[in-house]
């Protein structure tokens, strides 16, 4: 056995093959986040175009109002469009039919619930039996921060000790099921300030203790949300409205590929993730083009005109492939071919 291993190591050293790593997730099929750049940041080095594999737990965390619910809804809609089923737990009771329809997400009495406790969410996930097991089926919770425990509801749990234990117990049991049945589980979580933290302690924390960060294969951190405003003239007066946000998403932990990649998200409140806008900007930023282009052709000198032309000519997929090719070209320059250490 030692001789065989030594021989394999020698061949790899001679041919300078990259080292193989063990990653989480089944990449037979992937689900898009709705953002090409985020898909690539998550797993672009493993599969063309990147995306979310089945068999993993994903935590999207960040401050309130940073777009986490929209990301979950985009992913859930993508699961259904690819033939999968979803169950959506909404302990904050914020999602309605009009909102979900924006993402092509069909929520019914059968797949939508408003649970109160940690146990309710994870037990329902383990007991769930979707009809088609040959596709990725999705489990979504928005958000973990709103979940309680029976003890907390009946007697109170001021320090949250029971809640942390229940998260740990339930996640340990549920993550095995997620992997075995190739489910994709995506949960949002809030970042909260730690009251009375000293200079040696963390100033913020997420709900659920350390269990969420430990069991998650992928952790996406939302940060620096900035308002997007739009001005129009009405009866000679300029009226300004906030129409969306621009936010950075950091791949804070990644067991499906490499961590610490970052992707920008432009979120329009009446549309969702604006992938076309980010893709146009990416090509302009990383090429010598002075205008917005697709397939090497000018599609507009302004962003608004470029978006209209892309959508009018149904060039969204072409634009996405342009971005993927450019991203892979850049990524290829960072690849290192190293010999095995001996």
175 and 138 in one domain? yes
Indicate the number of domains in the chain: 2
E-strand ranges in 256-333 read 262-268, 272-273, 292-294, 297-300
- The enclosing H or E element of 30 equals strand 26-31
282 and 267 in one domain? no
84 and 94 in one domain? yes
Check if the beta carbon of residue 234 is closer than 8 Å to that of residue 245: no
Handedness of CA 290, 294, 296, 300 (dihedral sign): negative
Q: What is the pLDDT along the chain (342 residues), one digit of tens a residue?
A: 444 444 443 433 343 344 455 789 999 999 999 999 999 999 999 999 999 999 999 999 999 899 999 999 999 999 999 999 999 999 999 898 889 999 999 999 999 999 999 999 999 999 999 999 999 999 999 989 889 865 454 455 554 567 888 999 999 999 999 999 999 999 999 876 544 444 444 444 566 678 999 999 999 999 999 999 999 999 999 999 999 999 999 999 999 999 999 999 999 999 999 999 999 999 999 999 999 999 999 999 999 999 999 999 999 999 999 999 999 999 999 988 888 887
256 and 164 in one domain? yes
268 and 135 in one domain? yes
- In this structure, what are the phi and psi dihedrals at residue 20, rounded to the nearest 5 degrees? -85, 140
Taking the C-alpha atoms of residue 181 and residue 132, their distance in angstroms, rounded to an integer, is 11
User: Residue 264's domain spans which residues?
Assistant: 20-273
Query: Pick from 249, 273, 297: which residue ends a domain?
Result: 273
Taking the C-alpha atoms of residue 278 and residue 51, their distance in angstroms, rounded to an integer, is 16
Taking the C-alpha atoms of residue 158 and residue 267, their distance in angstroms, rounded to an integer, is 36
87 and 158 in one domain? yes
296 and 258 in one domain? no
pTM of the model: 0.88
């Amino acid at each position: 056995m030692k001789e065989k291993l030594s021989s394999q190591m020698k061949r790899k050293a001679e041919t300078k093959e990259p080292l193989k790593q063990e990653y989480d997730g089944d990449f037979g099929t992937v689900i898009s986040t709705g953002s090409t750049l985020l898909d690539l940041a998550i797993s672009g080095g493993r599969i063309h175009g990147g995306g979310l594999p089945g068999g993993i737990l994903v935590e999207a965390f960040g401050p309130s109002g940073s777009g986490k619910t929209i990301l979950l809804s985009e992913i859930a809609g993508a699961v259904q469009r690819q033939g999968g089923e979803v169950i959506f737990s909404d302990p904050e009771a914020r999602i309605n039919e009009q909102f979900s329809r924006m993402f092509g997400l069909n929520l019914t009495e059968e797949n939508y619930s408003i649970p109160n406790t940690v146990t309710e969410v994870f037990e329902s996930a383990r007991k769930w039996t979707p009809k088609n097991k040959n596709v990725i089926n999705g489990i979504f919770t928005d958000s973990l921060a709103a979940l309680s425990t029976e003890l907390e509801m009946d007697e109170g749990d001021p320090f949250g000790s029971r809640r942390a234990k229940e998260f740990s117990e339930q996640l340990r049991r549920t993550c095995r099921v997620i992997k075995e049945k190739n489910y994709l589980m995506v949960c949002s979580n809030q970042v909260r300030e730690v009251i009375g933290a000293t200079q040696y302690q963390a100033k913020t924390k997420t709900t659920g203790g350390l269990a969420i960060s430990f069991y998650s294969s992928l952790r996406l951190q939302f940060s620096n949300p900035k308002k997007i405003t739009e001005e129009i003239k009405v009866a000679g007066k300029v009226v300004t409205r906030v129409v969306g946000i621009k936010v950075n998403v950091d791949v804070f932990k990644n067991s499906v590929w490499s961590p610490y990649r970052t992707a920008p998200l432009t979120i329009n409140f009446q549309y969702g993730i604006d992938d076309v806008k980010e893709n146009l900007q990416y090509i302009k930023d990383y090429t010598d083009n002075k205008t917005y282009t697709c397939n090497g052709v000018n599609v507009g000198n302004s962003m608004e005109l470029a978006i209209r032309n892309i959508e009018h000519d149904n060039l969204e997929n072409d634009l996405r492939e342009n971005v993927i090719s450019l991203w892979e070209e850049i990524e290829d320059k960072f690849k290192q071919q190293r010999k095995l250490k001996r």
